[in-house]
A and B are shown apart, each in its own frame.
Chain A
Amino acid sequence: MAQHMKYYYELTISCSPHVHSKTTTRTIMRDVIIALMPALIGSVYFFGLRALIVTLISVASCVFFEWAWCRLMKQHCKVYDLSAVVTGILLAFVCPVTIPYWIIVIGALFAIVLVKMLFGGIGKNVVNPALAARAFLFSWPAAMSTWVQVGWENRAGIVSAADAVTAATPMESLHAGVLPEASLLDMFLGNVGGSLGETSVVLLLLGFGYLLLRRVLSPRIPLAYFGTVAVLALLFPMGNDRLTWMAAQLCGGGLMLGALFMATDYVTSPVTKLGQVIYGVGCGVLTVMIRYFGSYNEGVSYAILIMNLCVVLLDRIGRPTKFGARKKEVAGK
């Protein structure tokens, strides 16, 4: 037995197929970071320099907490795989730009230590760290729901964000069942209030396009997600013009950011094709349900978190049959 264990550690043991590729976690994460850059630059343009500082603090704290945890627990430190950087950027993206810096640090602590490292580090977390941290940060509900007017002249102060001009977000109108005042073009470009990195549909799509080109992600989950939201919005327009309502539901809030960059997270989404479609549809249904009937304006983060928890079941659906095995036999067992 001891002999076996020795070899186990010396050799790399993995399932077939043994395909070689230059793709590593690090290259994937690097691509995701590149894909998030347009939205980050956009957020600085819309909300001012504070957006960049919030993001930098978030990234720095995520990296630091992962490194510190590994040191403390005497684990092999994998911080160079850049996944903590991605979590940091996404965490900043789902918070308002006015968020006090200390809250974002606590968010990073929660995301990295409680959600990721306690479950075993990268690849083993059950839910999306950034979204789980966002849910926890609602400990400070006022800080998490202060939305500033967009525009460089109204930008939030870097030291104190208190005197920034607040404004309603499109989601508040949508939750009340009316079309937002902001035009669809503004919502598409990102010229509306909202979380730091979620507002600009076009820049997020641009980043996702890059990931598609690099074949890092498949569009299956986002398409299922968008499709479900679109159909439900078309069917139940709450007395508004159907098409405009649908477009506003798609462009509003965190749907783009959530569907493109969070629901698609490798670790917390299903691996089978059918599972991915069901997962996307589930996210869509839950999002619309929370937006229509919930007490929060936005439901994307909770929808994705709930579906994250279902992934372990969804992975059983649509599993390919073993080569040589008959379908019936597999089903029988």
Chain B
Amino acid sequence: MKFKDHFKEGLLTKNPVTVQLLGMCSTLAITTSLFNGLGMGLAVTVILICSNVLISALRKVIPSQIRIAAYIVIIAGFVTIVDLLLQAYLQALSESLGVFIPLIVVNCIILGRAEAFASKNGVLASALDGLCQGFGYTVALVIVCVIRELLGSGTFGGGILNGGEGIRIIPEGFPAMQMVMPVGGFLVLGFVIAGSQWLMRRLERRNKKKEAV
């Protein structure tokens, strides 16, 4: 597979969040500010690439009977490393994501890609897969974050821009608080999934037209 195909799969047609519906837990829970979304997305991407590479490299060594146990140990190792590094050098992010960093261990995206891709493909392809899937996850997360943050807190770029407060777009008192509550997570995720389906269908139709021409 070419990079372009990988990229398209990760971003849209096999997006881990909107199509595979993996890693819903963090997607619903932490997507309340741009900072959270980017941070979580990057953390998952880094762990995904590392675990994909290592698992792919060891794919011929690990016997199939114990592969799940071995994958989990490897993934948990990387997650703990990232967790410790965040605590040491990016304390703000580590505090705002809280328990969801250690919970990346059980994020299905990582085990899912290990089982579905890295255990069957070469190191380079696995790294590429990790990068593209991680990118797709980050993009989906950021979209949900931006919408929820705008409607729920009335700001853009919370945690990063304007000294951490974000740029205020909707004046205080007007944003719908429920949008940064779990309800908002489910609502916005639903709309984002619907949007990605609509986009895919449009692209498909355009491709068919091209073929017909």
* Binding partners A and B: yes
Q: Which of A114, A136, A139 has the most CB of B within 10 A?
A: A139
A266 at the interface (CB under 8 A from B): no
User: For B175, what are the chain A residues with a Cβ–Cβ distance below 8 Å?
Assistant: 139
Contact with B along A267-294 (1 / 0, CB 8 A): 0000000000000000000000000000
Bound-complex Cα distance A139 to B177 (A): 4
Contact with A along B171-205 (1 / 0, CB 8 A): 00101111100010001000000000000000000
User: Which residues in window 157-176 of B have CB below 8 A to A?
Assistant: 173, 175-176
Give which listed residue, A106, A114, A140, contacts B177 with CB less than 8 A: A140
User: Helix, strand, loop or mixed for chain A's interface?
Assistant: helix
Could you tell me the distance in whole angstroms from the C-beta of A102 to the nearest C-beta in chain B?
8
Bound-complex Cα distance A114 to B173 (A): 23
Could you tell me the distance in whole angstroms from the C-beta of B65 to the nearest C-beta in chain A?
41
User: For B177, what are the chain A residues with a Cβ–Cβ distance below 8 Å?
Assistant: 138-141
Could you tell me the distance in whole angstroms from the C-beta of A103 to the nearest C-beta in chain B?
9
Q: Is the CB of A138 within 8 A of B178?
A: yes
Give which listed residue, A106, A114, A141, contacts B187 with CB less than 8 A: A114
Bound-complex Cα distance A87 to B175 (A): 24
User: For A140, what are the chain B residues with a Cβ–Cβ distance below 8 Å?
Assistant: 173, 176-177
Residue of A nearest to B190 (CB): A118
Bound-complex Cα distance A140 to B177 (A): 7
Residue of A nearest to B184 (CB): A139
Residue of B nearest to A136 (CB): B178
Bound-complex Cα distance A20 to B187 (A): 41
Bound-complex Cα distance A106 to B151 (A): 12
Could you tell me the distance in whole angstroms from the C-beta of B163 to the nearest C-beta in chain A?
26
Q: Is the CB of B187 within 8 A of A139?
A: no
Bound-complex Cα distance A114 to B187 (A): 9
User: Which residues in window 283-322 of A have CB below 8 A to B?
Assistant: none
User: For A141, what are the chain B residues with a Cβ–Cβ distance below 8 Å?
Assistant: 177
Contact with B along A134-163 (1 / 0, CB 8 A): 001011110000000000000000000000
Bound-complex Cα distance A301 to B187 (A): 20
13 A–B pairs (Cβ distance < 8 Å), ordered by A: A106-B176, A114-B187, A136-B176, A138-B177, A138-B178, A139-B175, A139-B176, A139-B177, A139-B179, A140-B173, A140-B176, A140-B177, A141-B177
A: residues with CB less than 8 A from B are 106, 114, 136, 138-141
Task: Give me 14 other A-B pairs in contact (C-beta within 8 A), A139-B176, A140-B177 excluded.
Answer: A106-B176, A114-B187, A136-B176, A136-B178, A136-B183, A138-B177, A138-B178, A139-B175, A139-B177, A139-B178, A139-B179, A140-B173, A140-B176, A141-B177
Give 9 closest A-B pairs by Cβ, nearest first: A139-B176, A139-B178, A139-B177, A136-B178, A138-B178, A140-B177, A139-B179, A136-B183, A114-B187
